[in-house]
């Protein structure tokens, strides 16, 4: 009895270091960020107010940058899902050796320096890069496409770089599916596509949700990729925050932008989770 009573206390002690680390390096900086955003002066005089938030929402350019950032993250995430789902499904159908090779290729961007892979994409997407040379050789266009320093290039690179964050959760979910469910659907006369949309896809929704959360948050905050691929022609929220904090030394405004950006991303993620759960509930309700 004594040992059973001591078990929760032991678990609490084991969790204490993690809780302290979480409070010190996440909660405390977050609270400091929020409090800084209410500073009314750049010199941080201690006078609090909503001046920084009013300045952000009072300029339509800031709102355009926020919307562009949220949309480019959504486009890249959907691209990851379109290509990542078939890849994850393929990994569940091949041999263990080939699966290991595919997984290695998927996670390769994670173990590669973000600067190295981004500069590689600059070469690939350039006017004389592999992509444009192929398009011109196939006669698909009479002149090189502007992929570099443009939104299409940013979306493509973000999707490739963050692909592992979509594939791995999907792979884990698909591996746990009972194959007898698909077999039963086929035995009852359902075709391959009907089985996929009525059985496989709804059951893999947890992996889609997890992949969406990880991929979307990584895409919208990918400062290096957005800066190098987008160049000076495009401006996204991480770049704006960096400019305000490091170049202009306007820490209160940078903090306010960060808070607005964080809340916006959380709202998008929460909305996506709610919609997916609602759809799943309708399918099985």
Half-sphere exposure of 150 (CA within 13 A, CB side): 9
- Give domain 51-284's CATH superfamily: MetI-like (1.10.3720.10)
pLDDT value for 6? 55
Average pLDDT value for residue range 243-256: 94
Where does residue 25 rank: exposed (0-12), middle (13-18), buried (19+ CB within 10 A)?
A: exposed
Q: Are the C-beta atoms of residues 125 and 155 closer than 8 Å to each other? A: no
Whole-structure pTM over 0.85, yes or no? yes
- C-alpha triplet 180, 182, 188: angle, nearest 5°: 100
| For residue 276, pLDDT beyond 90 | no
Provide the H-helix boundaries in 148-222: 151-175, 179-187, 192-195, 201-203, 205-220
Taking residue 91's Cβ as centre, other Cβ atoms within 10 Å add up to 21
pLDDT value for 10? 72
| For residue 116, pLDDT beyond 80 | yes
pLDDT value for 251? 94
Distance, in Å, from the CA atom of 221 to the CA atom of 226, rounded to the nearest integer, reads 9
Q: Provide, rounded to the nearest whole percent, the portion of the chain with pLDDT above 70.
A: 94
Distance, in Å, from the CA atom of 191 to the CA atom of 80, rounded to the nearest integer, reads 26
Each residue's pLDDT tens digit, 119-164? 899 999 988 889 889 988 888 888 888 888 999 999 999 999 999 9
Structure-token pair, residue 111: 């173990």
Dihedral sign (CA 98, 102, 103, 104):
positive
pLDDT value for 4? 53
Annotated domain spans of the chain:
51-284
Looking at every residue in the chain, the average pLDDT score rounds to: 89
Query: SS3 for 178?
Result: coil
């Amino acid at each position: 009895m004594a040992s059973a009573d001591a078990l929760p206390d032991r678990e609490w002690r084991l969790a204490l270091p993690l809780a302290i680390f979480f409070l010190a390096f996440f909660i405390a900086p977050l609270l400091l960020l929020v409090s800084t955003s209410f500073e009314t002066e750049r010199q941080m005089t201690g006078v609090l107010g909503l001046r920084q938030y009013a300045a952000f929402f009072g300029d339509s350019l800031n709102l355009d940058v926020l919307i562009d950032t949220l949309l480019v993250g959504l486009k890249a995430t959907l691209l990851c899902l379109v290509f990542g789902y078939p890849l994850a499904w393929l990994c569940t159908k091949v041999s263990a050796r080939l699966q290991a090779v595919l997984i290695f290729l998927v996670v390769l961007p994670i173990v590669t320096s973000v600067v190295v892979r981004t500069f590689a994409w600059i070469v690939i997407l350039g006017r004389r890069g592999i992509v444009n040379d192929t398009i011109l050789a196939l006669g698909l266009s009479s002149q090189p496409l502007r992929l570099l320093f443009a939104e299409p290039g940013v979306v493509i690179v973000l999707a490739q770089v963050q692909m592992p964050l979509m594939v791995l959760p999907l792979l884990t979910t698909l591996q746990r599916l009972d194959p007898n469910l698909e077999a039963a659907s086929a035995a009852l006369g359902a075709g391959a596509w009907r089985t996929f949309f009525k059985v496989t896809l709804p059951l893999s929704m947890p992996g889609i949700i997890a992949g969406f959360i990880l991929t979307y948050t990584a895409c919208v905050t990918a400062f290096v990729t957005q800066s190098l691929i987008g160049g000076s022609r495009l401006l996204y929220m991480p770049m704006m925050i960096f400019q305000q904090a490091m170049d202009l030394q306007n820490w209160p405004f940078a903090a306010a932008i960060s808070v607005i950006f964080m809340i916006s991303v959380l709202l998008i993620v929460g909305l996506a989770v709610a919609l997916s759960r609602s759809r799943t509930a309708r399918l099985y309700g």
